[in-house]
Amino acid sequence: MIQKTFLAALLAIVSLGDNWAQPNKNETTLKKHFVSSSAFMLFNMAGMEDSPSFYQLNFGYRFTPKDALILEAITWKYHAPLGIPYGPSHGNKEENYPGSVRSIGLGLAYQRFLWKGMFTTVHATPFFQQYYTSEQKKIQNGFQLFTVLRLGYQFKLAKNRIFIEPSVAFTHWPINTNLPEDFETKEDKWSNYFLFEPGLHIGFQF
């Protein structure tokens, strides 16, 4: 469902034409600061049974026209191993944990523009993990280091004040500690990375 929504949004953005992608000469003044978030927060209102309760707020600083550092505050809840690839097992509730994981993290990202609006971003976020039973009783705490390599394109609106960034990412969590034993059994079936994760960020520059 998330992947289909992402593709629909991406097609809608591209169909609006090159006026979004290339600002006029009078609109190219560098705005050094920006705030942004993920459009996927809209899924919190979708009434899904396993709602991700996903929230994200970013603050960025552009220290050159092509380079930015971004501070990211993120929290979300997930019910299955993150490494399940696209296919019949992806979204299959039989692969779910016997409960859920609440993640709370504060991370740092570096963004580099390569050509026009095309960019790559490297993210690293340490997450404090809280493990819960299916009855929402807390079991224990853990730690996860979550890293992302992202490739996307930035479309600019409103005289370079608003931007939309569809992207695709490779995610990897090299550190994932102190899982409950029954969670670990599910986790060990899958890799500690995920390929081609869609992203859609919206931000305001000032």
For position 128, which CATH number holds? 2.40.160
Counted domains in the chain:
1
Output phi, psi for 7, to 5 deg: -65, -40
pTM: 0.85
pLDDT at 20: 47
Domain for residue 22, yes or no?
A: no
Domain for residue 67, yes or no?
A: yes
Domain for residue 24, yes or no?
A: no
Domain for residue 28, yes or no?
A: no
Taking the C-alpha atoms of residue 91 and residue 194, their distance in angstroms, rounded to an integer, is 14
Q: Which domain holds residue 85?
A: 2-15+33-205
Taking the C-alpha atoms of residue 202 and residue 166, their distance in angstroms, rounded to an integer, is 9
Q: How many CA atoms lie within 13 A of 76 on its CB side?
A: 22
Q: Per-residue pLDDT tens, the chain, 206 aa: give them.
A: 445 545 555 555 545 444 444 444 444 578 999 999 999 898 888 766 777 899 999 999 999 999 999 999 999 999 999 999 999 999 999 999 999 999 999 999 999 999 999 999 999 999 999 999 999 999 999 999 999 999 999 999 999 999 999 999 999 999 999 999 999 999 999 999 999 999 999 999 99
